[in-house]
């Protein structure tokens, strides 16, 4: 891997950037990360959001299209992935997501890169840990990197500057309320 060397037209928003991990069984991991995208767009920065295991049109995809400087790449098939029912398409889509993440991070074109649900892809064995740790090591110093999803490996937590665990206290699913458009999906 090679580090980004800047460029004549490159003016990063951040002088130094951090690694975030949003984890846990509570709601709000992706939502928190997308809030950072909203803030970055508001200050004129550029963000890339690479979603793993999200191959259907979530409402957030349409919302992100309204924000300037945001690139969204969705990977995964349009179905829920169960860890004991992985199919070859799940692996190829995860590989496509990892390649997109590598391109977004190492290009240096983005101030913020969100790797949404990558923690889950790691825990399901869809993505190997070594190339993810390489992304952290070789990322340009101005690229803020955010990992979301349940069950991140300890090595990723150890590399992070900020780790937030979302803890579920109560959720409407417990009352049988399914995901609601505009709120949960």
CA distances for 75 relative to 89, 100, 141, angstroms: 10, 9, 26
In this prediction, residue 97 carries a pLDDT of 98
Whether 94 shows a pLDDT value over 90: the answer reads yes
Task: Give Cα 37 to chain centroid, integer Å.
Answer: 11
In this prediction, residue 10 carries a pLDDT of 58
pLDDT class of 178 with cuts at 50, 70, 90:
confident
| Coil, helix or strand at residue 93 | helix
pLDDT class of 171 with cuts at 50, 70, 90:
confident
Given a contact cutoff of 8 angstroms between Cβ atoms, the answer to whether 19 and 159 are in contact is yes
Report pLDDT digits (tens) over 55-73. Answer: 888 889 999 999 999 999 9
CATH code of the domain made up of 19-175: 3.40.50.300
What's the average model confidence in pLDDT over 3-19? 71
Task: Report if pTM > 0.95.
Answer: no
Nearest alpha-carbon partner for 27 in 183, 180, 170, 166: 166
Q: Determine phi and psi for 85, rounding to 5 degrees.
A: -135, 40
In this prediction, residue 7 carries a pLDDT of 52
């Amino acid at each position: 891997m090679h580090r980004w060397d800047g460029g004549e037209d490159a003016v990063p928003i951040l002088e130094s950037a951090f690694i975030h991990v949003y984890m846990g069984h509570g709601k709000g991991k992706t939502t928190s990360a997308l809030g950072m995208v909203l803030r970055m767009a508001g200050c004129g920065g550029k963000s890339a959001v690479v979603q793993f295991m999200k191959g259907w049109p979530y409402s957030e995809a349409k919302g992100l299209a309204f924000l300037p400087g945001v690139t969204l790449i969705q990977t995964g098939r349009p179905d829920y992935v169960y860890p004991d029912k992985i199919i070859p398409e799940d692996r190829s889509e995860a590989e496509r997501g990892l390649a997109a993440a590598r391109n977004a991070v190492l290009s240096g074109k983005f101030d913020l890169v969100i790797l949404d649900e990558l923690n889950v892809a790691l825990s399901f064995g869809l993505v190997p840990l070594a190339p993810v740790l390489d992304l952290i090591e070789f990322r340009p110093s101005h690229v803020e990197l955010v990992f979301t999803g349940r069950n991140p490996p300890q090595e990723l937590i150890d590399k992070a500057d900020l780790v937030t665990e979302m803890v579920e206290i109560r959720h409407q699913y417990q009352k049988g309320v399914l995901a609601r458009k505009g709120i949960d999906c």
